[in-house]
Amino acid sequence: MIEVTDLSYQYGPLKALDGVSFSLPKGKVVGLLGPNGSGKSTLCLCLAGMLDRKGSSGEIKISGQDLGSFAPEELALKMAVVFQDNLFSFDFTAYEIVLMGRSPYLRPLQPERPEDHLIAKKAMRDCDCFDLKDRPIRSLSGGERQRVVLARALAQTTSVLLLDEPTNHLDLKHQKQILSLVRELAESKEVLSVVVLHDLNLAGQFCDHLLLLDQGRLVKQGTPEEVLTPENLNPVYQINVHKIYHPVTGRPQIII
């Protein structure tokens, strides 16, 4: 679904990504891990086709087609993105925000069709924010806003989801809920999700595949069992970690 070959990205003299290659099949939940400044967000922006191509070298292919050859309106049908900060200048209602996820399917003056409303409402229920539907977006808390923006991404009904720290601002209940939802989409609709995560344990719990970045390099990739080991993590995070297993799910977990 997504194939990245020898991707590098430079902000002026600063090398943010250095020769990254990986291939991700559809229907997987992929965690993007690494310390602050390791290149996670840059990689995310590259995958979203948001960065100036001047600074980049290498190749990104989506369903076998070069990312650069997609027009924004084509890409919006394939991939939905949730960014880290979501600032709003105007008080749209939460529902209006979610409905904007349907705009790639609509012509300029065409009103939203009944199915667009159905999809938007379902996305809001899935993200547990339907009760916020008529609230002005700026009156919502960070976590509530995060869920609304996620619902907008779901309303885009794409086969790829790109989520930059979607669990930011979320409480435990909603962290679990959102990542379970991403899992469910992977299993029922073969959606490929690429998720930037800071929490290694959430990554261990919910992801099929992990990419570990350090200083712009991809230092390790594989299953959580393969990636979440003290040998891999200690040099990257520069602390000593220990690996244990979740008492119920048996998934690898990291404690410090």
CB of 79 to other proteins, least distance (A): 8
Which ranges of 80-141 would DSSP assign to H, the alpha helix? 94-99, 114-126
- Which residue from 54, 50, 52, 53 is spatially nearest to 41, judged by alpha carbons? 50
Q: Which of 12, 36, 89, 114 binds other proteins (CB under 8 A)?
A: 89
Q: Which of 21, 65, 69, 91 binds other proteins (CB under 8 A)?
A: 91
Please choose, out of 75-83, 127-135, 186-194, 202-210, the segment that lies near other proteins by the rule CB under 8 A: 75-83
The answer to whether residue 255 forms part of the interface with other proteins (CB under 8 A) is no
**DSSP, res 113:** P
The answer to whether residue 67 forms part of the interface with other proteins (CB under 8 A) is no
The answer to whether residue 47 forms part of the interface with other proteins (CB under 8 A) is no
- Which residue from 157, 158, 132 is spatially nearest to 143, judged by alpha carbons? 132
The answer to whether residue 54 forms part of the interface with other proteins (CB under 8 A) is no
For 243, the enclosing helix (H) or strand (E) is strand 242-245
The answer to whether residue 108 forms part of the interface with other proteins (CB under 8 A) is yes
Find the distance separating the first CA and the last CA of the chain, reported in whole Å: 35
CB of 56 to other proteins, least distance (A): 16
Q: Which of 76, 208, 219, 225 binds other proteins (CB under 8 A)?
A: 76
The answer to whether residue 124 forms part of the interface with other proteins (CB under 8 A) is no
Complete DSSP assignment for 20-56: EEEEE-TT-EEEEE-STTSSHHHHHHHHTT-S-GGGE
The answer to whether residue 157 forms part of the interface with other proteins (CB under 8 A) is no
Q: Which of 28, 55, 58, 103 binds other proteins (CB under 8 A)?
A: 103
Tokens of 64: 């076998």
CB of 196 to other proteins, least distance (A): 15
Q: Which SS3 state, helix, strand or coil, does residue 250 take?
A: coil
- Exposed / middle / buried, residue 150 (Cβ in 10 Å: 0-12, 13-18, 19+): buried
Of residues 127 through 146, those in contact with other proteins by CB under 8 A are 138
Q: Give the number of C-alpha atoms closer than 13 A to the C-alpha of residue 36, restricted to the C-beta side.
A: 0
Closer residue to other proteins (CB): 102 or 217: 102
The answer to whether residue 10 forms part of the interface with other proteins (CB under 8 A) is no
Closer residue to other proteins (CB): 86 or 215: 86
CB of 104 to other proteins, least distance (A): 4
The answer to whether residue 206 forms part of the interface with other proteins (CB under 8 A) is no
Tokens of 150: 């996620």
Query: Cα(136)–Cα(4) distance, rounded to whole angstroms?
Result: 39
Kindly list the residues in this chain that would bind other proteins in the complex (CB under 8 A).
Answer: 45, 48-50, 71-77, 79-81, 83, 86-93, 96, 100-101, 103-104, 106, 108-109, 138, 156
